[in-house]
């Protein structure tokens, strides 16, 4: 398919002059569907290193290609394979790449596609229709709408923030909120359920250990890199030291957890008649995992353990506060995160 550079820019809605097209459009098969691919390069010269601020030691460091979803052309899924110039600062040894307004950093959805999804969301189209029309997943379209809704909600209150600012707030305040919540949250039921769920961080499985009581209220949680004896032992030991000896502790039949229970019993943290290994009794916490898993699917993939841990701790803390508010019938007229956090800080 032979198209001029000007025509391609109009089709893909590209306004950045630094994006240079290398060849004509090519039709390739992706996930069983014929898609249209455009190839381009992004060449820009940074003013300075974004980490240390110096320019004299910045050198070119190859290219990095990413596949970006662009607005559809001839009713086919359309992608832009963009090769970005990478740079390396020899002073601070940081590596960064060229950026463009056409796509956000660490994203594969172009800005025009995001704008089209938001425009269609204002109509009476369902989320499924929007995702099929623009060739995105339902959860991706929902995440785009939620991000823009959060910015508009702040804008209506006279606060203009970028979505990365919200992310920085989450990273900064989540550990603080968790520490305050754990300090105030001491009274729990004495019948516990303990289990772990899988969290993918940079294409590797990590494990979120969680504990709730027989009423479904969250007791504690912790993110671990491995699903082994040490992870289960340290989580259970901290749980028992913080909240005391329960009347009943129910877990699954995983071998590492059973080994940790036996060691804690020998050390005197647990009594022999307290522990139960029951499949149906642990269904309560298995169902409670769904909220955390749903939030993980809606969010972008985690890139490191530190970011994932802080984000998950914030989600778990707010989920725990919401469950307690709902149990006390305080959330009949809507759950207010602001009021709950304000009460937590004032307590």
HSE value, Cβ hemisphere, 13 Å, CA-based, for 313: 22
Query: How confident is the model over 256-287, as pLDDT tens digits?
Result: 999 999 999 999 888 888 888 876 777 888 88
Q: What is the pLDDT of residue 230?
A: 93
Per-residue pLDDT band for 234 (boundaries 50, 70, 90) equals very high
∠165-168-169 over CA atoms, to 5°?
90
Instruction: Judge if pTM exceeds 0.75.
Output: no
188 φ, ψ (degrees, to nearest 5): -135, 165
pLDDT reported for residue 94: 79
pLDDT interval class at 28 (50, 70, 90): confident
pLDDT beyond 60 at 297: no
Which pLDDT score, from 0 to 100, does residue 173 have?
86
CB neighbour burial string for 100-120, b if at least 16 within 10 angstroms, e if fewer:
bebbeeeebbbbbbbebbbeb
Angle at 222 between CA 216 and CA 228, to 5 degrees: 110
Residue 216 CB: number of other CB atoms within 10 A?
16
CA distance 204 to 227: 12
Give a three-class secondary structure readout of 122-145: CCCCCHHHHHHHHCCCHHHHHHHH
d(CA 142, CA 119): 13
Nearest to 223 by CA among 311, 118, 135: 311
- Compute the 3-state secondary structure of the chain and give helix, strand, coil in percent, each to the nearest 5: 40, 25, 30
| Eight-class DSSP state of 95 | E
pLDDT tens column, 3-22: 677 787 887 888 888 888 87
Q: Is the pLDDT of residue 128 over 90?
A: no
CB 204 within 8 A of CB 303: no
Q: What ranges make up the beta strands (E) of the chain?
A: 19-21, 26-30, 33-42, 58-73, 76-89, 95-97, 191-201, 204-213, 218-224, 248-251, 275-277
Model confidence band, residue 235 (pLDDT cutoffs 50, 70, 90) = very high
Do residues 163 and 147 lie in contact, with contact meaning Cβ atoms separated by under 8 Å? Answer: yes
Position 296 confidence tier, pLDDT thresholds 50, 70, 90: low
What are the chain's domains? 5-108 (no CATH), 113-161 (no CATH), 171-346 (3.30.420.10)
Alpha helices in 39-124 (DSSP H): 111-121
- Please say if the pLDDT value at position 331 is more than 70: no
Helix, strand counts (H, E) of the chain: 10, 11
pLDDT score recorded for residue 237: 92
Nearest Cα to 249, choosing from 240, 320, 181, 327? Answer: 240
């Amino acid at each position: 398919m032979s198209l001029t550079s000007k025509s391609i820019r109009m089709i893909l809605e590209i306004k950045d002059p630094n994006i240079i097209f290398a060849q004509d459009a090519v039709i390739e098969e992706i996930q069983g569907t014929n898609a249209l691919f455009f190839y381009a390069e992004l060449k820009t010269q940074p003013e300075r290193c974004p980490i240390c601020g110096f320019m004299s030691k910045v050198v070119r460091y190859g290219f990095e290609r990413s596949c970006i979803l662009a607005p559809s052309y001839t009713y086919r899924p359309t992608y832009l394979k963009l090769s970005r110039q990478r740079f390396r600062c020899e002073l601070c040894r940081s590596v960064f790449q060229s950026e463009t307004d056409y796509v956000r950093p660490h994203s594969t959805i172009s800005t025009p596609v995001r704008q089209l999804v938001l425009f269609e969301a204002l109509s009476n189209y369902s989320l499924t229709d929007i995702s099929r029309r623009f060739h995105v997943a339902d959860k991706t379209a929902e995440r785009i709408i939620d991000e823009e809704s959060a910015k508009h909600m702040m804008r209506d209150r006279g606060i203009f923030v970028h979505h990365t600012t919200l992310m920085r707030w989450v990273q900064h305040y989540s550990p603080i909120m968790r520490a305050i919540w754990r300090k105030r949250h001491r009274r729990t039921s004495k019948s516990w359920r303990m289990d772990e769920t899988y969290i993918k961080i940079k294409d590797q499985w990590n494990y979120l250990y969680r504990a709730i009581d027989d009423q479904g209220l969250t007791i504690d949680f912790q993110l671990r890199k491995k699903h082994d004896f040490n992870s289960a032992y340290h989580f259970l030991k901290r749980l028992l030291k913080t909240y005391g000896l329960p009347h009943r502790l129910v877990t699954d039949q995983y071998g590492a957890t059973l080994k940790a229970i036996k060691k804690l019993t020998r050390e005197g943290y647990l009594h022999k008649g307290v522990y139960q290994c029951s499949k149906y009794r642990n269904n309560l916490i298995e169902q409670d995992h769904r909220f955390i898993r749903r939030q993980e699917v809606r969010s972008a993939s985690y890139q490191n353990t530190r970011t994932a841990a802080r984000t998950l701790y914030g989600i778990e803390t707010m989920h725990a506060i919401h469950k307690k508010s709902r149990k006390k019938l305080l959330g009949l007229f809507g759950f207010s995160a602001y009021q709950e956090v304000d009460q937590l800080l004032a307590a």
